[in-house]
């Protein structure tokens, strides 16, 4: 059998030959010259096993999203390039629209952040002007509050002047009344009487205005007036405080809080683009490397689920052999780098050299204790050697 240890067969070969020669010599009547045997010059102990041909690289591809396969661009046996689109789901246009919207938001977010830095000087000047205006309003409110209080409405000179004007106004009223009294007996349509009455009314109005002014100079605000004055001052103070905070925030550059918000918006927009790109990518199935389509499991128009196998892509230009029945005794005698001779059941005239590239660290599941070993073919015969062919392997033992 092929999987026997050839070293064992060679070890018993020489004694058997010597026994055969001795028996032949004993039956002969005439002594012969003894024959000297020399060991085989090219003999190397080997471990024999069987294996199967497989690609060094192959993968089963599937969609990350579910949907209807509306376009299938390949069939079995097609050669494809890395990144080539192999199939597409029907809702790809919706995914493209979502990506466009996400890219637009990303542009706006970047522009908003750039504007914060580019307009920093303008924002600082505006904040400084707003602070100056707020302080002016506070000064006005405080002045109005102050001059409305008792004892602060007018100076002593102003009060003295008002009192003097009141004496004069009272005297004017007396004179106007005396003139009217002399003409009061006349008819109402008498011009002289009407003029005297008009002069009396004007004198009284002038006197009353001086009295009101004097009373205001000497008075104080009512409770409602005082409450309004207090509220106006408080509002002006609040405006100044807000303007000072705004100015402090921008006087050294953009407002840190505004920058933080803009940066968060930008990060969110970038994440949105990545998510939209991933969603669009999930709508298309692309070749992960250059190779050959070995199997196709679906047809155009079918609905598929996420992760459902769609096709098999393999690199058939780089084939290897994986052993199937290398037992624990034989695997202990070989190492990575050991040379090997490989033949094929289907190709009796093909003889290829190979090298051990991988030895499993764990036995494969199944009957017996066997360890998979991979061998690289020194010569690639892709047109003759095919995936799945049975191979016979003689691995040379290193002395």
Which region holds residue 185: left if phi is over 0, alpha if psi is between -120 and 50, else beta?
Answer: alpha
At 39 the pLDDT is 52
The whole-angstrom separation of Cα 323 and Cα 372 is 5
Residue ranges of domains in the chain, CATH in brackets: 6-56+318-396 (2.40.30.170), 64-90+283-313 (2.40.50.100)
CB contact burial 113-147 (16+ within 10 A = b; e otherwise): beebeeebeebbeebeebbeebeebbeebeeebee
Q: Rounded to whole angstroms, what are the CA distances from 143 to 83, 148, 169, 217?
A: 78, 9, 31, 16
Residue 34, φ and ψ in degrees, nearest 5:
-65, 140
Tell whether pTM > 0.75: no
Q: Are strands 347-359 and 373-377 parallel, antiparallel or unpaired?
A: antiparallel
Q: Residue 284: beta bridge partners? A: 88
For residue 285, the tally of other CB atoms under 10 A from its CB is 26
Note whether 243 and 134 are within 8 A (CB).
yes
The whole-angstrom separation of Cα 381 and Cα 321 is 13
Taking 50 as the pLDDT cut, the residues of the chain under it are: 1-17, 20-32, 35, 37
Angle, CA of 263, 267 and 273, to the nearest 5°: 145
Residue 355, φ and ψ in degrees, nearest 5:
-140, 140
* Residues across the chain: 399
Q: Residue 355: beta bridge partners? A: 339, 376
The token duo for 216 is 């205001």
Angle between helices 191-218 and 156-183 (to 10 degrees): 160
**Alpha-carbon torsion 37, 41, 47, 52, what sign?**
negative
The whole-angstrom separation of Cα 68 and Cα 398 is 57
Note whether 89 and 70 are within 8 A (CB).
yes
Note whether 69 and 301 are within 8 A (CB).
yes
Note whether 312 and 337 are within 8 A (CB).
no
Note whether 207 and 170 are within 8 A (CB).
yes
Helices (H), the chain: 6-26, 92-118, 120-147, 156-183, 191-218, 223-250, 256-282, 328-331
pLDDT tens, 328-375? 999 999 999 999 999 999 998 899 999 999 999 999 987 789 999 999
Angle between helices 92-118 and 120-147 (to 10 degrees): 60
**Residue labelled with tokens 């050959």:** 292
Note whether 342 and 384 are within 8 A (CB).
no
For residue 33, the tally of other CB atoms under 10 A from its CB is 5
- CB proximity list for 216: less than 8 A, separation 6 or greater: 153
For residue 346, the tally of other CB atoms under 10 A from its CB is 12
For the chain, percent helix, then strand, then coil, each to nearest 5?
A: 50, 20, 30
Q: Are strands 46-55 and 390-396 parallel, antiparallel or unpaired?
A: antiparallel
At 41 the pLDDT is 54
């Amino acid at each position: 059998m092929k999987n026997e240890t050839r070293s064992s067969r060679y070890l018993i070969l020489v004694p058997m030959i010597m026994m055969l020669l001795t028996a032949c010599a004993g039956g002969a009547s005439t002594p012969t010259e003894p024959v000297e045997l020399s060991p085989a010059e090219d003999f190397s102990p080997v471990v024999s096993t069987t294996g199967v041909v497989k690609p060094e690289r192959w993968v089963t591809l599937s969609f990350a999203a579910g949907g209807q396969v509306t376009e299938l661009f390949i069939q079995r046996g097609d050669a494809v390039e890395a990144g080539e689109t192999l199939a597409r789901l029907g809702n790809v246009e919706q995914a493209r629209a979502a990506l466009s919207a996400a890219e637009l938001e990303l542009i706006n977010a970047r522009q908003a952040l750039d504007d914060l830095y580019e307009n920093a000087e303008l924002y600082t000047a505006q904040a400084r002007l707003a602070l100056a205006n707020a302080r002016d309003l506070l000064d006005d409110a405080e002045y109005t509050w102050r001059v409305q209080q008792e004892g602060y409405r007018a100076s002593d000179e102003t009060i003295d002047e008002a009192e003097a004007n009141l004496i004069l106004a009272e005297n004017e009223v007396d004179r106007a009344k005396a003139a009217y009294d002399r003409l009061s007996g006349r008819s109402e349509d008498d011009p002289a009487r009407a003029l005297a009455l008009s002069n009396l009314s004007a004198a009284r109005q002038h006197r009353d205005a001086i009295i009101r002014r004097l009373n205001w100079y000497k008075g104080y605000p009512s409770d409602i007036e005082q409450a309004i004055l207090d509220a106006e001052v408080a509002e002006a103070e609040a405006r100044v405080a807000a303007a000072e905070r705004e100015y402090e925030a921008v006087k050294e550059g953009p407002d840190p809080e505004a920058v933080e918000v803009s940066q968060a918006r930008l990060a969110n927009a970038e994440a949105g683009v990545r998510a939209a790109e991933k969603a669009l990518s999930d709508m298309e199935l692309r070749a992960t490397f250059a190779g050959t389509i070995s199997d196709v499991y679906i047809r155009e128009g079918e609905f598929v689920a996420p992760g459902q196998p769609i096709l098999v892509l393999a690199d058939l230009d780089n084939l290897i052999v994986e052993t199937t029945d290398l037992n624990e005794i034989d695997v202990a005698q070989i190492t990575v780098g050991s040379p090997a001779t490989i033949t094929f059941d289907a190709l009796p005239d093909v003889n290829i050299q190979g090298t051990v590239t991988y030895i499993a660290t764990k036995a494969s599941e199944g009957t017996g204790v066997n360890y998979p070993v991979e061998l690289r073919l020194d010569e690639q015969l892709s047109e003759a050697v095919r995936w799945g062919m049975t191979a016979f392997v003689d691995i040379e033992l290193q002395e």
